[in-house]
Structure 1
Amino acid sequence: MKKLLTVLLLGVATAAFAEEGWTPLFNGKDFTGWTFDTLDKAAPETIWSVKDDTVVVMGKGKPNGVMRTEKSYSNYELEFQWRWPDTGGNSGCLIHCTDPRLMSVWPKSMEVQLMKDNAGDFWVIGETIEVQPEQIAKGKNNQPSRRRLNLVDGAEKPSGEWNQMRIVAKDNTVEVFVNGTLVNKGWNMSVSEGAICLQAERANIEFRNIRIKAMPAG
């Protein structure tokens, strides 16, 4: 009886998932639908693995790299959970990815930052996006850098706990929510379509429940 109840509950959950229009990007078992690119020709299996429906990225001490969707997407909501299994570090979700290796191993894209205590920043990688003037961080010689600061600090949870990221990319606009809080938004982006990448950036990080939902244009 318990087994039957479990099957029924799983069926209801799967149906509800589908009814909402969400499509999983990660099947919880393997990397079907994804490709990899790493510096120094590092074997992907030395960095990425799957355990308990979770993408495990053992990036600490390893070359930088990306796992990249085989498909391109536009006008969507993207959701996933991430956590730092140890002390935190650096990573990001790259959206609207096109030309590979425009900057080191990073493709031409727009990064939604996941770095500890900075989740939701934008980093432009060969693209442009408009934000409030005060969000444009200064770099070398006090010139504008590639970083666009987020609007809200303190939305992240401590290392070891799961965080929720929601990215709404519609036409040439992007909104970013961390644990339900709107932390950044931009408009007049120079690109509106491309692949999605998750970074391995010399830190250990885990991802799960990666899913996408199409939105109408306009």
Structure 2
Amino acid sequence: MKLQSIALLAFLCLTFSANAQTRSLFNGKDFTGWHIDVPAMDSSASVPSPFIIRQGMLVSLATPEGHIITDAVYQNYRLQVEYRFPGKPGNCGVLLHASTPRSLYKMFPKSIEAQMMHENAGDFWCIVEDITVPDMEKRRGPKNDWGITEGKERRIKNLTDNSEKPLGQWNTMVVECLGSAIKVWVNGDLVNYGTNCTASKGQIALQAEGSEVEFRKVELTPITKLTSEK
């Protein structure tokens, strides 16, 4: 029991050791530090970007579908995102450990998605990367159907369906990526936890996936590893 307590304390210290370094990934004025990848924009310069800045917020206008992706690669961090669907409920997500672009359906970068879809926030979606959670068959379906590419069972259901705020109100999603583990909280509730992730670093992406979403905060806190006591 004593060793377990020490391990837990060490984990908590490691998790919160870098709070002073918290910084916003979005400056509220332009997309410095980000780039936009929208396949429909390849063929015509007249196709508008689905990502805009409105009243200091980063806004996904739903279509054309695609992603806004950080230029930088991140590893071992806590990400806090405040978002809402201002109109009709819909779909969106945060992509973690993103790498090779357009790896799935010629649209989605290789990554693990922390789902923001209304009433499904906190689901994991495996996008050419994989992750393990407790009760895998209960939450992912029959093992023979699992996979990370087109036509496979890539969704891993969250742990709770009652964590989101009513439509139009602001939600807070916190994602902690530490080594090969990912934890997701929605409005303070732990809604998913996975280990053995096949990636441990990468870019961070936000989606345009059919519904308008407003983001008023996208903040990242690096997690620095503490030196073990002798």
- Give the Å deviation of 1:158: 1.3
Kept after mapping to 1: 8 A contact 2:113/2:126 = yes
Name 1:117's counterpart in structure 2.
119
Residue number among 137, 141, 149 corresponding to 1:138 in the alignment: 141
Could you say which residue in structure 2 is the equivalent of 1:96?
97
- CA deviation after TM superposition for structure 1 residue 45, in Å: 4.8
The aligned counterpart of 1:33 is 33
Tell me the equivalent position of 1:71.
Answer: 72
Quick one: which of 142, 147, 162 aligns to 2:155? 147
CA separation in 2, counterparts of 1:154 and 1:125? 25
1:207 maps to amino acid: F
Q: Report how many aligned residue pairs link the two structures.
A: 198
Query: 2:41·2:48 contact (CA, 8 Å) conserved in 1?
Result: no
| TM-score, length basis structure 1 | 0.85
Give the equivalent residue in structure 1 for 2:168. 160
State the SS of the aligned residue for 2:201: coil
Contact 2:98 2:203 survives alignment (8 Å): yes
Give the Cα separation in 2 of the matches to 1:39 and 1:184: 30
Tell me the CA shift for residue 217 of structure 1.
Answer: 4.1
Q: Distance in 2 between matches of 1:46 and 1:66?
A: 10
The structure 2 residue matched to 1:107, chosen from 109, 113, 117, is: 109
Structure 1 consecutive aligned stretches of length 4 or more whose deviation exceeds 3 Å: 42-46
1:54 aligned partner, one-letter code: M
TM-score, length basis structure 2? 0.81
Identical-pair percentage: 40
Paired residue for 2:57? 54
User: Which residue identity is paired with 2:131?
Assistant: I
Gaps of 5+ in 1: 1-17
The CA deviation at 1:49 is: 1.1
What CA deviation, in whole Å up to 9, does each residue of 1:150-173 have, x standing for no partner? 011110011110000100000000
Contact 1:37 1:67 in 2 (8 A): yes
Which protein has the bigger strand share? 1
Q: Deviations over 1:94-120 (max 9, x none)?
A: 000010110121100000001000000
Pair 1:19–1:125, CA change in 2 (3 A): closer
- 1:84 counterpart residue number: 85
Residue of structure 2 in register with 1:20 after alignment: 20
CA-atom RMSD in angstroms: 2.0
- 1:134, distance to aligned residue in structure 2 (A): 4.1
Q: Which residue number corresponds to residue 186 of structure 2? A: 178
2:59 counterpart SS class: strand
Deviation at 1:52, TM superposition (A): 1.9
